[in-house]
Amino acid sequence: MTDLCAEDLATIYAKPSPRVIAKARPAIDAHAKKFIEMSPFCVLATSGADGSVDASPRGGGIGFVRVAGPNQLLMPDRSGNNRIDSFRNVVEGSGFVHLLFFVPGIDETLRVGGRGTLSADPDLLASMVEFGKPPRAVLNVAVSEVYFHCGKALMRSKLWSADKVQRAVMPSIVEVIHDQTGLGERESQAIVEERYKAQL
């Protein structure tokens, strides 16, 4: 297999249309704001000082990411695995972040880019209580680019199709990690889900 170089790309892909270029906006407009306010899930991508990239899922109630202004987003950080790879990248790496927002039932997605900083201001944390708990920190994104992706990827994947994989086809995440590492005790999916619910 031969790897492609930059010059090869122009022979494979046509130039993007002016419309595709123009859709990248410098701020959150009314359409993007509405989409974010309907979204219960996004993927957060960050880059580290060594050039590594991290992408992690983030979710909450509908509109869990707050639009604080046309160039500001506030994302609460909920209970997780405490690796904090994303947040280490924000404070030690480039500071650049990208968010990809999803709304169940809509095939288009929304991408938001900018620079992130972290806050643990008590008043801010108290204003973002969800699931009966304040977040541990809040990611403050100074937004510089916003654009909608077409729905082709989600249409191809049939992501919102009623045909869903039954959870039982995979072992629980704890069983997977036990098999991979030999650490911890094997636990069923039912036990894992009950713990998840208590830790939201």
Percent of the chain predicted with pLDDT > 70: 100
Task: Report the chain's mean pLDDT, rounded to a whole number.
Answer: 94
Phi, psi of 77 (to 5 degrees): -105, 120
- The structure tokens 């699931």 sit at 131
Per-residue buried b or exposed e for 95-116, using 16+ beta carbons within 10 Å of the residue's own CB? eebbbbbbbeeebbbbbbbbeb
Whole-number CA gyration radius for the chain: 19
Q: How far is CA 155 from CA 105, 141, 159, 165, in A?
A: 11, 29, 7, 17
Out of 71-75, 78-82, 86-90, 128-132, pick the least confident. 78-82
Question: pLDDT by residue (tens digit) across 152-174?
Answer: 999 999 999 999 899 899 999 98
CATH of 15-159, one of 2.30.110.10, 2.40.37.10, 3.20.20.100, 2.60.120.330: 2.30.110.10
Mean pLDDT for the stretch of residues 79-86: 88
Mean pLDDT for the stretch of residues 46-59: 93
Joined together, the tokens standing for residue 97 give: 């972040």
Joined together, the tokens standing for residue 177 give: 């990690």
Report whether pLDDT(198) > 90. no
For the chain, what are the domain ranges? 15-159, 165-199
Looking at residue 28, what is its pLDDT? Answer: 98
Q: How far apart (Å, rounded) are the C-alpha atoms in residues 18 and 139?
A: 33
